[in-house]
Amino acid sequence: MRLLEYQAKELFREYGIRLLDGRSSTSIGEARGHAGELGYPFVIKIQVPVGGRGKAGGVQSCNNPDEFEIRYPQVMNLVIKGEKARAVLLEKMADIKKELYVSLFLNRSKRCYTIIASSEGGVEIESVKSQTIREVGMGDVSRETALEVAGQIGLDGRLADGFADILVRLSRLTVEKEAELAEINPLAITPGDSIIALDGKFVTDDNSNFRHPELAKYQEKSEIEERAEKSGFSLVELDGDIAVVGNGAGLVMSTFDMLSDNGGKPACFLDVGGGATTESVYEALTLISRIRGVKSILVNLYGGIVKTTVVAEAFLRAYESGLIDMPVYAKLKGTESDKAKEMLRDSRTEMFDSVEGAINAAVLGGKKS
Amino acid sequence: MKDIFEVLRGNPGDADHNKKGVIVQGITGAYGSLHTRNMISYGTNVVAGVTPGKGGQKFDDAIPIYNTMSEAVEATGARISAVFVPAKFFLGAAKEALEAGIELLVAIPEHIPIRDTMSALDMAQKKDARIIGPNTPGIMMPGIIKIGIMPPTPFKPGKIAVLSKSGTLLYEISDALSSAGFGQAITIGIGGDPVNGTRLIDAFEMIRDVPDIDGMVVVGEIGGDSEEMLAQLIMDTGFAKPTVAYIAGRAAPKEKRMGHAGAIVMGTYGSAESKISMFNKANIPVAKRPAEVPVLLAKKMENGDGGGSPGTTGGGD
C-alpha cells in the first residue's frame, strides 16, 4: 500500500528523521484548532495517494485566517487523478537553502535495494541528470556507505554527517517495515544547516502485512475491496460503465486493453483468481452490483479445468435472485459450453466463442442503451 | 548452473531419462494434492511428498510422504521440488529444499513477501540452484514433464519456447499457438511478483542456444523492467530465432496494482509503452491481442527473421 504523506511522516518521526511541525485533519473545524496551535504562516497540503498534487493546486500557503478559511475548503475539495482528499496536512514553513533528493527502492530486476540520491531535489527524480545510484543488497545501509553517498552528492562536514544520519535511519525504516519504496523529496537544508524531510512517500509490500500489524491502521479499503479480498479476488474500481471480470490478472488486463481499444470504458478490474466456481462467480456479480455506474458485464474466463455450466449457473442464480438486471457478455472456454449456452438461452447473458465477439457486443450494447 | 533441459529430462541413456523425479512440498494440502494428481496424470514422475508430521504415510496409497526435505531427497535422489505450501511458510520450505540439494525449485504460491523471496534467492545463488516463481503456474515441457498447475489442454509438444509472467495468458496464448501448429518445446512461468527467481533474461539464457527451439514468444505485462532488459539483451547479443511478444496492461491506470503484486506502473517505470517501444527497437513485433501472436510468429517464420537487429518496427495490425 502507498501511505499518505502524513502517514509516511509519522513513521519518519518514529525513526528520528527531522520534520517540520504539522497536523493532519479531515474537517475545517478540526483544522482551525491546528491553525491556532501552529500559528501563521503555514502550508496546507492535500493528502492523496498519487503524485502531481502541487501542479493541481493541492499545496497552498496560508498567511492569515482569511486565507485559511478560503483555501482549506478549496484544497479539501480537489480531485487529483480521480483521487479525493483523504485528509489535509497543515505544516509550518521552512527557510530553505537547498533541496536534495534521497530514496531507497526495491530494484526488481537487480533484486536488491537501491539508493538514489541527488543534489537536485524538489522535482521529479526522472528529470534529474545528476543522480547517485548505489545498490545495497537487502537494504541495510551502513554509516560508511551513507557517508560515501553524501560525498558523491557534494556534501561535506556537518551536512554530510546529517545526510548520512537520515539515510541510515531511512534504511532502518525500509528494512524493518519491508517497504518497496521510501522517498524523501525534497530533503531540505535550512540556512542553519539542519536537514529536514519536507515530503515523504512510502510504499509497503502488502504481502508482508501479516508481519506488520502496526501498519494496519494505514490500510484504506472500501467495503467492496474488503469483500473482494476475503474471497481471494483482486478488484480495482474505475469510472467506466462496463465491468470486466475474468480469472487471472494477465487475462483480465488483456481483456481490459482490448475493450479500451474498441472504445469501451471499464468500470472495474475483477480477477476472481485461479479457478471459477458457481459461488465465486456469484460473489463477483454481487460485488459488481454494488459498484456505481455499471451498465453491463464483460466476462472472460479461461476454463482450463472449469466447467462452463458451473459458471452459467451463477448467472442464472443472479438473475433469479434479482441481484443483477443487466446484460452480460461472456466468453467461456472450457467443457460443456454447448450445455451452458442452452442454459442461458432465455437470459440476458450472451455467450461468445471469442473474446473479441464478447467485447464488440459489450461496446455496441452500451451504445444502444 | 546445470542446463535446464538436463534438469527437466536428463540425458538419453540415464535410467530416469524423461522421467525425472519431482518432490511436492505441501503434498497433503488441498491445493498441493489436487495438482499432484494432475501432474501425475500428465505423466510427471512425482516420487515423494513432504508434509511435516505426516512422514511415513502415503499419498493416494502410492507416494511416500516424508517429514523433511532432506529425508525425501535422500530416499529418492530427486533434484526437483514443487512448492505448494502457504505463502508464510514458503521461506522455510525453500531453505529446507535448497539445503537438501534441490537444483530446481518451482514456487507456486502467491502472496509471498518480497523479502522472503529475496532471502530464498540469495540462498539459491549460493547453492547454484534455480528458483522459478514465486506466483508462477510452473514450468513444463509438453508431452514430457509438467511441474505446476497448468491445465494440459492448451499445450502441444513442438519447437517454440513461451516465457510468461501471467498464468492464464500463458494458457490462452499457448492454446492459440497450438491451434496454429506451433507446439511448445518448453513453457516457463516467470510469475507475477515484483521479484522473480527466474527473470525473463534468465529464462531466455536457458533456451537461446537450444537447437530444437525454432522461435520464442514472450508474454509480458506492466510493472518492473524485465521486458526492457530482455529487449536490450537481444539487441546487444543478437538472437536469430523468430520472436514475438505480447504485453498486457496497456489500458491499466497508473499506480494501481492490477491483480499481480508486480503489475503496477510507478511514474514511467513499468509502463506498457516503455516495454513495447523497446521490443520494437529490438525488431520484435508486439501483438495487440493474444490471438494475434501466432499470426505474427508465422510471419516472422516466413521471413526467416530473428530479433535483435534494430531497424524495422514491428507492432500489431
Query: Mind giving me the DSSP string for A189-258?
Result: EPTT--EEE---EEEE-GGGGGG-GGGGGG----HHHHHHHHTT-EEEE-SSSEEEEESSHHHHHHHHHH
pLDDT at B311: 42
> Which of A124-128, A322-326, B1-5, B103-107 tops mean pLDDT?
B103-107
Q: Of the given ranges (A229-233, B3-7, B46-50), which has the lowest mean pLDDT? A: A229-233
Give yes or no: B260 in active site.
yes
Residue B308 reports pLDDT greater than 90: no
A350 pLDDT tier (thresholds 50, 70, 90) = confident
Residue A11 reports pLDDT greater than 80: yes
Which residue among A109, A211, A302 places its CB closest to the CB of B226? A109
pLDDT at B255: 85
Closest CA to A201 of A184, A218, A186: A184
A96 pLDDT tier (thresholds 50, 70, 90) = very high
Task: Flag if A249 and B258 touch (Cβ within 8 Å).
Answer: yes
Residue A334 reports pLDDT greater than 80: no
Question: In A, residues 240-269, which contact B (CB 8 Å cutoff)?
Answer: 246-254, 256-261, 266, 269
Q: Which helix (H) or strand (E) holds A182?
A: strand A179-189
Residues B271-290, buried b or exposed e (16+ Cβ, 10 A)? bbebbbbbbbbbbbbbbbbb
Mean pLDDT of A147-175: 97
Residue B309 reports pLDDT greater than 70: no
Question: In A, residues 280-319, which contact B (CB 8 Å cutoff)?
Answer: 302, 304-305
pLDDT at B90: 98
Which residue among B38, B114, B151 places its CB closest to the CB of A205? B114
pLDDT at B159: 98
Question: Mean pLDDT over all residues of chain A?
Answer: 92
- Write the CA distances from A341 to A171, A277, A307, A316, A335, integer angstroms: 57, 17, 12, 11, 12
pLDDT at A134: 96
Mean pLDDT of A252-264: 96
* A2 touches B: beta carbon within 8 Å: yes
Q: How many CB atoms lie within 10 A of CB B128?
A: 10
Percent of chain B with pLDDT over 90: 90
Q: Are A309 and A336 in contact (CB under 8 A)?
A: yes
A368 pLDDT tier (thresholds 50, 70, 90) = low
Q: Are B190 and B226 in contact (CB under 8 A)?
A: yes
- Write the CA distances from B194 to A109, A334, B164, B190, integer angstroms: 8, 31, 14, 11
Cell of residue B317, nine digits? 495490425
Cell of residue B248, nine digits? 498486457
Task: Report how far residue B132's alpha carbon sits from residue B136's, in angstroms, rounded to the nearest whole number.
Answer: 7
pLDDT at B94: 98
Cell of residue B231, nine digits? 529487449
Question: Mean pLDDT over all residues of chain B?
Answer: 94
Task: Flag if A253 and B252 touch (Cβ within 8 Å).
Answer: yes
B312 pLDDT tier (thresholds 50, 70, 90) = very low
Q: Of the given ranges (A196-200, A340-344, A363-367), which has the lowest mean pLDDT? A: A363-367
pLDDT at B315: 42
Concatenate the DSSP letters of all residues of chain B into one string: ---HHHHHH--TTSTTTT--EEEEETTTSHHHHHHHHHHHHHT-EEEEEE-TT-TT-EETTTEEEESSHHHHHHHH---EEEE-S-GGGHHHHHHHHHHTT-SEEEE--S---HHHHHHHHHHHHHTT-EEE-SS--EEEETTTEEEES--STT--EEEEEEEES-HHHHHHHHHHHHHTT--EEEEEE--SSSS-SS-HHHHHHHHTT-TT--EEEEEEESSSSHHHHHHHHHHHH-B-S-EEEEEE-TTPPTT---SSTT---BTTBT-HHHHHHHHHHTT--EESSGGGHHHHHHHHHHHT--B----S-----
Residue B150 reports pLDDT greater than 90: yes
* A356 touches B: beta carbon within 8 Å: yes
Query: A234 to chain B: which residues are within 8 Å by CB?
Result: 257-259
pLDDT at B314: 42
Mean pLDDT of B123-132: 97
Q: How many CB atoms lie within 10 A of CB B157?
A: 12
Closest chain A CA to residue B108:
A274
Query: A206 to chain B: which residues are within 8 Å by CB?
Result: 257, 261
Residue A272 reports pLDDT greater than 60: yes
Task: Report how far residue A5's alpha carbon sits from residue A10's, in angstroms, rounded to the nearest whole number.
Answer: 9
The model scores a pTM over 0.80: yes
